[in-house]
Structure 1
Amino acid sequence: MARAYSVREVVKMKKNKIPFTGVWQDAFANPESKGVWFIWGQSGNGKTSFMMQLCKELCKHGRVIYDSFEQGTSLSMQETLVRHGMMEVNKRFSLLDREPIDELSERLAKPKSADFVVIDSFQYTGMSLARYREFAGRHRNKLLIFVSHADGNRPGGRTAEKVAYDADQKIFVEGFKAIAKGRFVGPVGEYTIWEDGAKRYWGAKGRTGINATSSHQQ
Structure 2
Amino acid sequence: MRAIGVKAFIDKTFDTFPFEGEWLESFGEPEKNFKMILYGGSGEGKTEFTVRFAKYLASFGKISYVSPEQGISKSLQDAIIRNNMDEVAGKVMFLTGGTFDELVTYIRKSRSKVIIIDSLDYMKLTVDQFKILIAKFPKKAFIIIAWAKNGSPKSQHAKDIEFMCDIKSFVESFKITLPTSRFGGNKEFVIWKGASKKKATTAQPSLFDN
Q: Determine if contact 1:49/1:193 at 8 Å carries over to the other structure.
A: yes
1:139 match? 137
TM-score (norm 2): 0.89
Residues 60 and 216 of structure 1, relative CA distance in 2, 3 Å threshold: farther
The alignment-based identity, stated in percent, is 29
- Post-superposition offset of 1:16: 1.1
1:47-126 aligned within 5 A: 47-110=46-109, 113-126=111-124
Is 2:176 aligned against 1:174? no
Q: Distance in 2 between matches of 1:54 and 1:82?
A: 14
Q: Which runs of 5+ in 2 are unaligned?
A: none
Q: SS of 2:111's equivalent?
A: coil
Residues 73 and 125 of structure 1, relative CA distance in 2, 3 Å threshold: same
Alignment size in residue pairs: 201
Q: SS of 1:195's equivalent?
A: coil
**4+ residue runs over 4 A deviation:** none
CA offsets per residue over residues 20-52 of structure 1, 9 Å max, x none? 111111111111111311110111211111001
Q: Which amino acid aligns with 2:135?
A: G
Q: Which amino acid aligns with 1:118?
A: I
Q: Which amino acid aligns with 1:136?
A: I
Q: Higher RCO, 1 or 2 (CA under 8 Å, sep at least 6)?
A: 2
Q: Which runs of 5+ in 1 are unaligned?
A: 202-214
- Post-superposition offset of 1:182: 3.1
Q: Distance in 1 between matches of 2:11 and 2:90?
A: 35
1:143-158 aligned within 5 A: 143-158=141-156
Residues 216 and 54 of structure 1, relative CA distance in 2, 3 Å threshold: farther
Q: SS of 1:109's equivalent?
A: helix
Q: Determine if contact 1:83/1:216 at 8 Å carries over to the other structure.
A: no
Residues 19 and 10 of structure 1, relative CA distance in 2, 3 Å threshold: same
Is 2:173 aligned against 1:185? no
Q: Distance in 2 between matches of 1:177 and 1:70?
A: 21
- Post-superposition offset of 1:170: 0.8
Q: Distance in 1 between matches of 2:107 and 2:35?
A: 15
Q: Distance in 2 between matches of 1:17 and 1:168?
A: 13
Q: Which amino acid aligns with 2:90?
A: K
Aligned-residue RMSD, C-alpha: 1.7
TM-score (norm 1): 0.86
1:205 match? none
Q: SS of 2:25's equivalent?
A: helix
Q: SS of 2:135's equivalent?
A: helix
Q: SS of 1:102's equivalent?
A: helix
